Amino acid sequence: MLLTDKVVIVTGAGGGLGAGIARVCSREGANVLVADIRGDAAQALAESLPCPALGLGVACDVGDDDAQARLVEQAVAHFGRIDGLVNNAGINFAKPFLDTTEAEWERIIRVDLRAVFFLSQKVCRQMLAQSQPGGSIVNISSVHSQAALPGAGPYDAAKGGVVAMGKSLAVELAPLGIRVNAISPGLLNTQIWQDIQDAAPSAEECLAYWKSNIPIGRVIETEEIGELAAFLLSPRSSSITGANIFADGGMTAQLISKEPYLSKALEGK
C-alpha cells in the first residue's frame, strides 16, 4: 500500500471530491483525518472509510485561523504526527463580474486561496518539528487555473493563485524535505455535476454537450483524483514537486468543442 502508517489530513472531505480522496488514502493504509465545516458529515465519512479504525472526523472551517490551529493540534494529539495534507476544501462561484461584491470576492479568496496558504504553513511547521521531518502537500486546484468561464473571476483567481503559490512553496520547502504539488481536476461526478444537469433544459443534451468537451467522453470519478493524490502523497512520487497535474480527461488539451458533424480530411496542398 502507498500510504501505510502515514497520517494525512484531507479538508472538505465530508462529501464530494474530498470524500473520494479520503477513501483512497484510507484504502492505501493511511491514518486519515477527515476535516469538514460540517462536523457530522466529517464524522460519518470517517466511520465509513475502508479502515475506520484509522480515521478521525473533525469539524473545521478552514477560513478560520483558530480552527486551522485546532485542526493541526487534533491531528497531532490523535495520531502523533502529520505526514500529508490535501487542501481540498473550497467554495464554487459563478456570478457576473459587474454584479460581484467585495464581500463575495473576500469570501472566495479567504477559503479557496488564503486558507490553503495558512493551513499549509501550520502543517509545515509541525512536519518540520517532528522526529522525522518532511512530508507532502497536495493542493486541489482546477482546470480554471488554465482556462476560464464567464462569471468565475474570484474562483479563477483563487485557483490560479493556488498553483502559482504552490510552485513558490515547493521551491522554498524542497531543501527541508517537504513537497508541494497541485491537481487540477476537470468536471467531476459530484453534486455540482448533478446541479449542471438539473439546470439544463435536457439532461441528455447536457450530457452530449459536455462529452464533446471532454475527449475521454465522460466526467471524472472522485476516486480517480484520490488515486493521483495518494500517489503524490507517497514516497513513490519523491522526485515530483512544484507540479500542477491536469486530471481532466483531456479537457484543457482540446482546442474547441468537437464538431457535431464529420468533416472531410484536410490534407494540405
Q: Which residues are catalytic?
A: 155
Residue 247 and residue 225 in contact, taking contact as beta carbons nearer than 8 Å: yes
Backbone φ and ψ of 18, nearest 5°: -60, -40
CA–CA separation, 63 vs 155, rounded Å? 15
| Contact status, residue 30 vs residue 84, Cβ threshold 8 Å | yes
Distance, in Å, from the CA atom of 2 to the CA atom of 243, rounded to the nearest integer, reads: 20
Contact present, 30 and 54 (Cβ < 8 Å): yes
Sign of CA dihedral 198, 202, 204, 206: negative
Bridging pattern class, strands 84-87 and 135-140: parallel
SS3 167: helix
Q: What does the alpha-carbon distance between residue 171 and residue 184 come to, in Å, rounded to a whole number?
A: 19
DSSP state of 97: G
Neighbouring residues of 5: CB distance < 8 A, sequence distance ≥ 6? 29, 30, 31
